Amino acid sequence: LAKTTQPISMDSYEGQEVNITCSHNNIATNDYITWYQQFPSQGPRFIIQGYKTKVTNEVASLFIPADRKSSTLSLPRVSLSDTAVYYCLVGDFSSASKIIFGSGTRLSIRP
Amino acid sequence: EAGVAQSPRYKIIEKRQSVAFWCNPISGHATLYWYQQILGQGPKLLIQFQNNGVVDDSQLPKDRFSAERLKGVDSTLKIQPAKLEDSAVYLCASSLGDRDEEKLFFGSGTQLSVL
């Protein structure tokens, strides 16, 4: 099992860039890194997925160093609506029980 | 595109009663997952289906939980008998099953309270 470690909580302000780092020292060769966002009373929502280097989509960027032992989710110019719990997952969903959600990072955005 | 549909949204039962949850995945999604999310924790996988076959049920408490996915589309998750510790949100998710990008789409869940 690829265990992940991420901060329990983070605070930031509207308009700032937020970076959430996740450690996954025992990542396997076939493992992908995936981030999900969850609002209260909703299921998690896929944000971004990557294998190495940098991936960017319309909502976030994911930076993965060469050794892949960590990754950083970058949210540009956050707003109040980005207040949520963010989960870093590592693994291969061909066997989903090996992918642990953990407790996530509770991000709070202030005006 | 319609999302993952789950019902009921809320359910309150007494311990030792039985309960069932229903999930309709996104059309065309081969893989279906049931997760249990206890308050303050991340979701925990209960069972994973590929079409109508079970891929992984290693974390399903089989003495009281059961799940089926008839015809590879809708799925039901049942708890019989329920215990107090089963109080949680039960999330259903589906995915294409495409190994190139494994993106799960979650429903809003069923919040179960066992009294």
Q: Output the domain CATH number for residue B54.
A: 2.60.40.10
Per-residue pLDDT, B88: 98
Q: Is residue B80 part of a domain?
A: yes
Whether residue A97 lies within 8 A of chain B, CB to CB, comes out as: yes
Does A99 contact B93 at a Cβ distance shorter than 8 Å?
no
What is the percentage of chain B residues whose pLDDT exceeds 90?
81
Q: Does A51 touch chain B (CB under 8 A)?
A: no
- Of the partner residues A32, A43, A97, the one whose CB lies closest to the CB of residue B108: A43
Return the higher-pLDDT residue of B56 and B21. Answer: B21
Distance from CA of A13 to the nearest CA of B (A): 24
* Mean pLDDT within B79-92: 97
- As a whole number of angstroms, the distance between CA A70 and CA A26 comes to 10
Question: Does the pLDDT of residue B94 top 90, yes or no?
Answer: yes
User: How many angstroms separate the CA atoms of A78 and A12, rounded?
Assistant: 8
- Let me know if residue B111 belongs to a domain: no
User: Would you state the pLDDT for residue A24?
Assistant: 93
According to the model, what pLDDT value does residue A1 have? Answer: 62
- Report DSSP letters for B5-46, one per residue: EEE-SEEEE-TT--EEEEEE--TT--EEEEEEE-TTS--EEE
Q: How far is A80 from chain B (nearest CA, A)?
A: 21
Supply the pLDDT for residue A15: 97
**Is B41 in contact with A103 (Cβ distance < 8 A)?**
yes
pLDDT digits (tens, 9 = 90+) for A55-94: 999 999 999 999 999 999 999 999 999 999 999 999 877 7
Whether B113 is covered by a domain: the verdict is no
**A36-45, B21-30, B92-101: the lowest-pLDDT one:** B92-101
CA–centroid distance for B89 within its chain: 9
* Shortest Cα distance, chain B CAs vs residue A43, angstroms: 5
Written out in words, the top-level CATH class of the domain with range A9-110 is: mainly beta
Measure CB to CB from residue A46 to each of B56, B103, B109 and give the nearest one.
B103
Q: Does B27 touch chain A (CB under 8 A)?
A: no
CA distance B45 to chain A (A): 6
The distance of B104 to chain A (nearest Cα, Å) reads: 7
- Rounded Cα–Cα distance for residues B83 and B106 (Å): 25
Domain count, chain B: 1
- Computed over every residue of chain B, the mean pLDDT equals 93
Residue B100 lies in a domain: yes
* pLDDT on residue B103: 86
The string of pLDDT tens digits covering residues A5-31 is 999 999 999 999 999 999 999 998 988
Structure tokens at B24: 């309709």
Smallest CA–CA distance from A87 into chain B, residue: B42
Summarised one tens digit per residue, pLDDT across range B34-60 is 999 999 999 999 999 998 899 999 999
**pLDDT higher at B49 or B96:** B49
- The pLDDT assigned to B1 comes to 62
Classify residue B50: in a domain, yes or no.
yes
- Domain limits for position B101: 5-106
CA atoms B89, B92, B97, B101: torsion sign: negative
CB contact under 8 Å between B104 and A94, yes or no, is no
The model's pLDDT over B4-19, given as tens digits with 9 standing for 90+, comes to: 999 999 999 999 999 9
Q: What pLDDT band is residue B100 in, cutting at 50, 70 and 90?
A: low
Pairwise CA distance, residues A73 & B102, whole Å: 18
Determine the Cα–Cα distance for residues B75 and B32; give it in Å rounded to an integer: 8
Identify the band that residue A40 occupies on the pLDDT scale cut at 50, 70 and 90: very high
Q: How confident is the model at residue A100 (pLDDT cuts 50, 70, 90)?
A: confident
Q: Which residue has the higher pLDDT, A95 or A41?
A: A41
Q: Is B38 on the interface with A (CB under 8 A)?
A: no
Q: Considering the domain boundaries, does residue B115 fall inside one?
A: no
Contact B42 A97 (CB under 8 A): no
B112 in any annotated domain? no
Domain ranges (residues) in chain A: 9-110
Instruction: Classify residue B61: in a domain, yes or no.
Output: yes
